[in-house]
Amino acid sequence: MVQSAQFAHSLEGWFGFLPLWGWAAISAGLVIYMLALPFGGLATYIERKIAADMQDRIGPNRVGPIGIFQFAADAIKMLSKEDFVPKGGDRFLFNLAPLFVVVGSCTAFAVLPLSKYLIGADVNIGVIFLLAVTTLIAPGLLLGSWASENKWSLLGGLRAASQIVSYEIPVALSILPVVLISGSLQIGQIVEQQGWTVFGENPATNHFWNAFHNPFTFFSMFLLFVGGLAETNRIPFDLPEAESELVSGFNTEFSGMRFGLYALGEFCDVFVMSAMVTALYLGGWHIPFLDIEKLGFALPTGLVAFIQFHMFMIKTLLVVFVVMWLRWTLPRLRVDQLMGMCWKGLLPLAFFNVLGTALWMWVFKGQSLMQLLAGHG
Amino acid sequence: MNKVLLLAEILTVASALIVGFHPNILYASVFLLFTFCGVAVMFLFAGADFLAGAQVIIYVGGVTILILFAIMLTQWLYKIKLADIRNKMVVPALLSAAVGVFLYRALHQMVAALPPQTPEALEKFTATPKTAAIGQALLGGYLFPFEAITILLLGAMVGAVWLARPE
């Protein structure tokens, strides 16, 4: 168990032979090139393919087999575009703003539990860390829109910031039931406790997926998902970039790779949000009803990590698919509807779920529905 | 001294200086954001892991955004230049200096009153997680102040809704 303060202190001791900034640069580069960039790039391709399927079109099909290298072509196109700062805009803030978005969404990859043995830093305040770094996105959108010196942009940025700040509260409150159940903020531990096998002995702490722990957490998962949709500015909450009202919203004036950074940050944020739903409510890396580490024979750790990683990715990408599917299903909300839904709808429901979970924990002494059905725990 | 901590301290102090002396109020608020982040890292090194996270969520995600909103939606606020208000800065500067001296002396006395600590004990203290301890303190010995603050915040919220009501 790595404590965050200990982790920070030990950084120097571990990696003495390069200066610290060197390691910071390398690990940031690794995160971006190994995780964020492929996912962000492929997500644009997948999104277009899914959109095409839903509209009975073919979609991108020219670059590579079934158009799979379309995102690489897009990246080259973006890199070769003119580096443009609008006249009267604020150059310093204009350059700074996309970085906030990328830093906010890419840093979150550090605590995502890709597998039991593959997690960047399993810090003891993991959930708080995830919430904290993703708040950096809101100032990025707001400052970028201001620096553009464009009224549409500013309106989009103001909408984005108010939306993210408002929906932060139901999201945090929908995470709280999980923290109540597991008694920990450490993501690795939260996922670990969601294991449940039909064969063999279950430890008393293990209680199947948190989504099925009790009826309240089941609703809480949907609240987290809806709040996450709003925080990542996805349809039906994409008012900050509503093209029929605001041209293109906060990123109207951005071109080339700066626009690319915004898009990358946004797609990474969708992935982080889906991974959060998966890790906190859908059992993370666990295969349902099966513990591959207790099969009766020992699998090599590498293979276990490999299988768990794929299980986690399957679940996360399913959630991502639902996000993309909703885009072609639901119409966009109005601004007043958006705020009304957050403060009058999601917030009371989230409070209800927290109280309900606390009540359940008190009445059934912390046992999940599964443990009650199985008659032990 | 740990280099990461040193970097965080430099970031905090340098951004704080920019916040104080930059003529453009928007830049001042942007660098206030970096100050808050630097303070969060310093919390982390002092062993206050939960406070570090809460610092970023509340001050970067909430307070800075509110300040930015206020600046962007208030035309005259953005147009204020440092030169226009330089002659009005004497009293606030004196007040801040007095508060600074007071805080320094109070903290100094508090630290001096503590029993002497070995470096190992300090390292052990900064490496233990504090989240559970904070939770138990808030719902245990400090329950009354905690609830009193809740009522204060509830009153502030009702007041804000009352002020913003449509008429």
Residue at A13 is within a domain: no
Give the model's pLDDT for residue A348.
Answer: 92
Residue at A14 is within a domain: no
Give the model's pLDDT for residue A295.
Answer: 72
One domain for residues B133 and B93: no
Per the CB < 8 A criterion, the answer to whether A177 and A353 are in contact is: yes
pLDDT, average across residues A104-117: 83
One domain for residues A75 and A143: no
Residue at B90 is within a domain: yes
Domain boundary among B50, B80, B97: B97
List the single range of A173-177, A231-235, A317-321, A343-347 with lowest mean pLDDT.
A231-235
Residue B127 at interface with chain A, using a CB cutoff of 8 Å: yes
Domain that holds residue A333: 85-371
Give the model's pLDDT for residue B163.
Answer: 87
Out of A133-137, A153-157, B97-101, B127-131, the most confident range is B97-101
Residue at A291 is within a domain: yes
pLDDT, average across residues A167-180: 90
With bands split at pLDDT 50, 70 and 90, how would you rate the model's confidence at A24? low
One domain for residues B13 and B62: yes
Per the CB < 8 A criterion, the answer to whether B48 and B15 are in contact is: no
Counting Cβ atoms within 10 Å, is residue A271 exposed (0-12), middle (13-18) or buried (19+)?
A: buried
Per the CB < 8 A criterion, the answer to whether A240 and A159 are in contact is: yes
- Domains identified in chain A, total number: 2
Chain B nearest-CA residue for A132:
B57
One domain for residues A41 and A137: no
Give the model's pLDDT for residue A6.
Answer: 56
**Among candidates A11, A136, A158 on the partner chain, residue whose Cβ is nearest the Cβ of B60:** A136
One domain for residues A36 and A151: no
Residue at B9 is within a domain: yes
CATH number of the domain bearing residue B61: 1.20.120.1200
One domain for residues A310 and A218: yes
One domain for residues A55 and A107: no
Domain boundary among B48, B78, B97: B97
Out of A46-60, A200-214, B115-129, the most confident range is A46-60
One domain for residues B3 and B81: yes
- Domains identified in chain B, total number: 2
8 Å CB contact of A93 and B129: no
Q: Which residue is listed with tokens 């892991």?
A: B49
One domain for residues B5 and B54: yes
Give the model's pLDDT for residue A1.
Answer: 41
Residue A117: which residues within 8 A CB-CB, separation 6 or more? Answer: A301, A304, A305, A308
Give the model's pLDDT for residue B61.
Answer: 83
One domain for residues B34 and B91: yes
In angstroms, rounded to a whole number, what is the distance separating the alpha carbons of residues A208 and A189? 13
pLDDT, average across residues A242-270: 80
Per the CB < 8 A criterion, the answer to whether A167 and A138 are in contact is: no
One domain for residues A222 and A209: yes
One domain for residues B10 and B80: yes
Structure tokens at B65: 């955004």
**Dihedral (C-alpha) B142, B143, B147, B152: value to the nearest 10 degrees?**
-10
Nearest partner of A327 among A222, A226, A234, judged by Cα: A234
With bands split at pLDDT 50, 70 and 90, how would you rate the model's confidence at A353? very high
One domain for residues A73 and A134: no
One domain for residues B92 and B132: no
Per the CB < 8 A criterion, the answer to whether B53 and A125 are in contact is: yes
8 Å CB contact of A20 and B4: yes
Domain boundary among A80, A96, A117: A80
One domain for residues A209 and A325: yes
pLDDT, average across residues A31-54: 80
pLDDT, average across residues A280-305: 80
Q: What is the pLDDT of residues B1-13, one digit of tens each?
A: 577 788 888 889 9
Give the model's pLDDT for residue B74.
Answer: 77
- Quote the minimal CA–CA distance from A327 to chain B in Å: 27
One domain for residues A119 and A260: yes
- Indicate whether A30 pLDDT > 80: no
With bands split at pLDDT 50, 70 and 90, how would you rate the model's confidence at A2? very low
8 Å CB contact of A128 and B53: yes
pTM value is 0.85
Give the model's pLDDT for residue A32.
Answer: 65
Structure tokens at A57: 């079109």
Mean pLDDT over each residue of chain A, to the nearest integer: 82
One domain for residues B69 and B141: no
With bands split at pLDDT 50, 70 and 90, how would you rate the model's confidence at A18? low
Residue at B108 is within a domain: no
- Indicate whether A246 pLDDT > 80: no
One domain for residues A95 and A139: yes
Q: Which of A9, A129, A141 to mutate to test the interface with B (most CBs of B within 10 A)?
A: A9
Residue at B75 is within a domain: yes
pLDDT values of chain B reduced to their tens digit, one per residue, 167 residues? 577 788 888 889 999 988 888 877 888 888 999 999 899 888 888 888 888 888 888 898 888 888 888 888 877 766 666 666 667 778 888 998 999 999 999 999 988 888 877 778 777 777 777 888 888 888 888 999 999 999 999 999 899 888 887 76
Q: Which of A15, A90, A124, A179 to mutate to test the interface with B (most CBs of B within 10 A)?
A: A124
With bands split at pLDDT 50, 70 and 90, how would you rate the model's confidence at A377? very low
Domain boundary among A80, A101, A120: A80
Domain boundary among A38, A64, A80: A80
> Between residues 135 and 164 of chain B, which touch chain A (CB distance below 8 Å)?
none
Residue at A8 is within a domain: no
One domain for residues B84 and B133: no
Give the model's pLDDT for residue A208.
Answer: 83
Give the model's pLDDT for residue A266.
Answer: 85
Residue at B122 is within a domain: no
One domain for residues B14 and B84: yes
Residue at B22 is within a domain: yes
One domain for residues B4 and B71: yes
pLDDT, average across residues A93-115: 85
Residue at B1 is within a domain: yes
- Indicate whether A119 pLDDT > 80: no
Residue at B85 is within a domain: yes
Please give the radius of gyration of chain A, using alpha carbons only, rounded to the nearest integer. Answer: 22
One domain for residues A91 and A65: no
Chain A nearest-CA residue for B135:
A183
pLDDT, average across residues A201-216: 81
Domain that holds residue B139: 127-167
- Indicate whether A369 pLDDT > 60: yes
- Distances in whole angstroms, Cα of residue A346 to Cα of each of A128, A174, A175, A341, B51: 20, 9, 13, 6, 26
8 Å CB contact of A5 and B60: no
One domain for residues B20 and B70: yes
Please give the radius of gyration of chain B, using alpha carbons only, rounded to the nearest integer. Answer: 20
Per the CB < 8 A criterion, the answer to whether B59 and B36 are in contact is: yes
Using a CB-CB distance cutoff of 8 angstroms, which residues of chain A are in contact with residue B31? none
One domain for residues A111 and A254: yes
Reported ipTM: the value is 0.80
Residue at A264 is within a domain: yes
